[in-house]
């Protein structure tokens, strides 16, 4: 089921099976998706990595994720675009920027516990009912339900990743760092670059991340660059020099050394293997 507004607003709700799983690969400009696994053993390859998802797991995807379908039993999809609901403009309300979406290199996955299943089921049913409405309040109602869904999802993800106990100012710092990396990884490659934008010291960033992650800020920056490099090498026919330039390297040798350090093989060898 699709909603399309007068100024390019887009919302889609879909029950996914093996017959219509191609929907997962469809892309819309500035599109964001939540995929709710309804049965066991759904298998997807996302950015070249195989994932086996179990019942009631939810994944959060952006338009930049490259998704290949390996096995689909049953899923539910909620997909929307920025004109319908801009998470950046509404970040103070839903708090999902840098957590569910645009969170550097890690694929956000959380599980809906049994105690919360009824909330999600009821919200899905209300979505379906409102999608069939045709009055002037339809879009407002749909936006309100999407906002509720994002709040519930963000709350669960924070609890399951143990982010909830983190002091609010530190959590906001982590979220903003993640979003800035997503926005600037092609041009800014050092922790000092992001620390300056956040008006913090590199040491402060490192100390905050040490509380929640085994990875340092520099590792997250490098992982985001590598994710883009792998995507371009795997899914495009761009030359290695073009890939290097796309993620901010003017010198292909410097890029190749960076890639081999991170991946263990050269960019050309990676492309041949994939």
Q: Where are the domains of the chain?
A: 2-160, 168-273
What confidence tier does 210 reach under pLDDT thresholds 50, 70, 90?
Answer: confident
Mean pLDDT of 97-111: 86
Mean pLDDT of 14-30: 92
> How would you classify the pairing of strands 109-111 and 75-81?
unpaired
Q: What residues contact 111, with CB distance under 8 A and at least 6 apart? A: 54, 56, 57, 58, 156, 160
Mean pLDDT of 22-47: 93
pTM for this entry: 0.87
> CA–CA separation, 24 vs 69, rounded Å?
8
What sign does the CA torsion over 241, 242, 247, 250 have? positive
Tokens, residue 63: 């338009």
What confidence tier does 263 reach under pLDDT thresholds 50, 70, 90?
Answer: very high
* Angle at which helices 217-235 and 202-212 cross, to 10°: 80
- Which residue's structure tokens are 């759904």? 42
Fold of 168-273: Arc Repressor Mutant, subunit A (1.10.10)
> CA–CA separation, 181 vs 186, rounded Å?
9
> CA–CA separation, 120 vs 6, rounded Å?
29
Give SS3 for 46.
strand
What confidence tier does 240 reach under pLDDT thresholds 50, 70, 90?
Answer: very high
Q: Across all residues in the chain, what is the average pLDDT?
A: 92
For domain 2-160, give the CATH number: 2.60.120.280
Q: Is the pLDDT of residue 253 over 80?
A: yes
pLDDT of 44-63, one tens digit each? Answer: 999 988 999 999 999 999 99
Q: Is the pLDDT of residue 17 over 90?
A: yes
Beta bridge partners of 101: 97
Q: How far is CA 11 from the centre of its chain?
A: 17
């Amino acid at each position: 089921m699709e909603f399309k507004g007068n100024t390019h607003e887009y919302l889609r709700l879909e029950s996914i099976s093996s017959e219509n799983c191609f929907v997962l690969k469809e892309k819309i400009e500035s599109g964001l998706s939540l995929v709710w696994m309804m049965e066991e053993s759904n298998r997807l390859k996302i950015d070249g990595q195989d994932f086996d998802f179990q019942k009631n797991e939810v994944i959060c995807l952006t338009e930049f994720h490259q998704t290949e379908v390996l096995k689909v039993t049953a899923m539910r999809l909620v997909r929307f675009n920025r004109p319908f609901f801009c998470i950046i403009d509404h970040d103070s309300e839903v708090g999902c920027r840098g957590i569910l979406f645009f969170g550097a290199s890690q694929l956000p996955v959380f599980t809906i516990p049994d105690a919360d299943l009824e909330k999600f089921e009821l919200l899905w049913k209300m979505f379906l009912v409102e999608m069939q409405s045709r009055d002037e309040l339809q879009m407002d109602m749909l936006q309100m339900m999407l906002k509720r869904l994002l709040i519930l999802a963000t709350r669960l993800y924070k609890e399951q990743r143990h982010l909830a106990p983190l002091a609010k100012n530190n959590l906001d710092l982590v979220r903003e760092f993640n979003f800035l990396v997503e926005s600037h990884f092609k041009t800014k490659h050092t922790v000092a670059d992001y620390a300056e934008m956040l008006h913090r010291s590199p040491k402060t960033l490192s100390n905050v991340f040490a509380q929640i992650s085994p990875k340092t800020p520099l590792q997250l920056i490098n992982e985001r660059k590598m994710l883009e490099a792998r995507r371009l090498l795997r899914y495009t026919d761009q030359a290695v020099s073009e890939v290097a330039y796309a993620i901010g390297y003017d010198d292909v040798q410097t890029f190749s050394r960076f890639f081999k350090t991170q991946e263990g093989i050269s960019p050309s060898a990676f492309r041949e293997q994939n």
